[in-house]
Amino acid sequence: MKTLIFILILCSFQAVCQVTFENCEPKTCKILTKTIPKGIPIYIGNLYSGKDLKIDMSDVEKIIQSGEKFKVCLGASRIYVIKYKCFDGQCLFVSSGSYKSTRTVFDECL
């Protein structure tokens, strides 16, 4: 039983360790990597849609921060944009739910 728990912990740790960060504040990116598996609220403008963006952290290969925007690369051919926004004093990561995809690769995700 202890071996199984150790293997599960090791596998989940490796999934996070494989993520490459670019221009990312360590504390902020740590919070983001913990938030992504729980679901990122999808907002349309300033209104919460009632839905969450679900991304499997094992699919995330790179996170690029540019100010309050975070590009989350799933492989080299899909990018989700997540923003850090504040609403009435509460700050959180939000998404529009959309993504960019290509048949080739995005150079920024390599």
For 52-97, the pLDDT digits (tens) are 999 999 999 999 999 999 999 999 999 999 999 998 889 999 999 9
Distance CA 60, CA 57 (A): 5
The answer to pTM > 0.95 is no
Domain that holds residue 17: 2-109
- In the sheet that 20-22 helps form, which strands lie side by side, from edge to edge? 20-22, 60-66, 69-74, 78-87, 90-101, 40-44, 47-53
| Contact predicate 93/82, CB 8 Å | yes
- What is the signed CA dihedral for 57, 60, 64, 69, rounded to 10 degrees? -60
**How many domains in the chain?**
1
Specify the pLDDT at position 13. Answer: 46
